[in-house]
Each structure stands twice: as C-alpha cells, then as structure tokens.
Amino acid sequence: MIVSCVGGLFLQLQIWDLVESSGPLPKSVLVILVFLSLFSWAVILSKWAAFRQARAANRAFLRAFRKAPALDTIAAASEQFRRSPLVAVFDFGYSEVSRQMKSRGSVTNPLSLERTLQLGMSEELTRLERNMSWLATIAGVSPFIGLFGTVWGIIDAFQQLSTAGASSLRAVAPGISEALITTAMGLFAAIPAYIFYNIFGSAIKEFAARMEDFQLEFLNLTERSLER
C-alpha cells in the first residue's frame, strides 16, 4: 500500500517535471486543454443538477395536474413547479386557451392550440439543449489540440537530437515524453465531455417524450373542462 502510494507520488512528480521543462507552445496547449476540461465539467455539473431537479419537478407537477379538476386550478399552483419543463408547455397551452375563451367564449380552434403546445415544447427543448454544443465541441476538438501539441513536441525533440548529434533513444526520449502529455490531456478533457454529451442527449429525448405525452393530457383536460 505504502509502496504504491510512493510510486504514484513519484510518477506525479515526474509528470510535473516534464510539464515544467516543456516549451512555450506545449505549455500553451496544456493551458487550453485544462481550461476546456474545467469548462466541460462546469457544464456537466450544472446540467446534471438541472436535469435532476427537472425530473423531480416533472413528477410533482404531473401528480398535481392529474388531480386538478380544471386548467385554472393547476395554473394557480404551477409556480411551485417552475423547474419542470412541463410547466413551460402548460403555460403556452393555457395562454392559448385563455385567449380563445376571452375572444370567442370557447376553444374553437384546437389546431391552433396544438401548434401552441408544440411551440412551447420546442422552446423548452431549446433551453434544455443549451450548452450541449460545448460538450460536443470539446469532445471532438480536444484530442486534436492535444495531438497538435504532441506533434510539435516530437518535431522539437528530433530537432534537438539532430543539433546535439546524438543518435540514441535516450537522447530523444524526454522530449517525446513531454510531447505525449498533451495527447493524454486532450483525451482527459474529451472523454468525460463525450460520455456526458450522450447521457444528457438521452435525457433530453426522455424529456421530449414526456412533453409529447403531456400535450395529449393537456388536450384531454381542456376538453373535459369545456364539457362542464
């Protein structure tokens, strides 16, 4: 146990020594990759928290919606479920119902109501997808940025090798080791971004399916309310 801890600490010190001894361009690449990694984790953590809260709010809102006898009842209570994506869809639908009731006394244009619900769903999906493009960009670009730093470092190592006039691998190994750190950092930034991009993409599809089902429930409640 102690030997493994000492070995891990020694490896970290070696890596840090390689970073310190690298040139300006590899260091700049590492700084960029560290920033991208931190930014992606900020997006990941914020999305994780937002989606978790949205799921809980969806469940609570649906329970209240299914118990409500009329749209006015749920409209009065919807503020406490504001984190639910379904509430945004409900607000669009309720505003359209109110507009038609005010001007015509009843819902005479159900097609317009359906389109309004679709618009609410579209806007809510746009909000849920916010910053997802950053995760996709970081996942796709980071390995290439790291590879660029590696290629540049290898070129620099071989130039130093030719200048020194040595031909052994021992002479060029430190330079290559420094160069490969940027590739490792690129993968370190890209892999979590790629994994969570797919996880959140599946979650957004789940939210979309819930909103589509909710539209049907909203239309059914609207018809029942008007029949009374």
Residue 60 near residue 81, CB atoms below 8 Å: yes
Question: Six-digit token pair at 116?
Answer: 């309004």
pLDDT at residue 217 greater than cutoff 70: yes
pLDDT above 70 covers a percentage of the chain that reads: 77
Domain parsing of the chain, residue ranges:
23-51+69-227
Residue 6's Cβ-count burial label (10 Å; 0-12, 13-18, 19+) is: exposed
Kindly state the average pLDDT of the residues 19-31. 71
Q: What is the pLDDT of residue 162?
A: 62
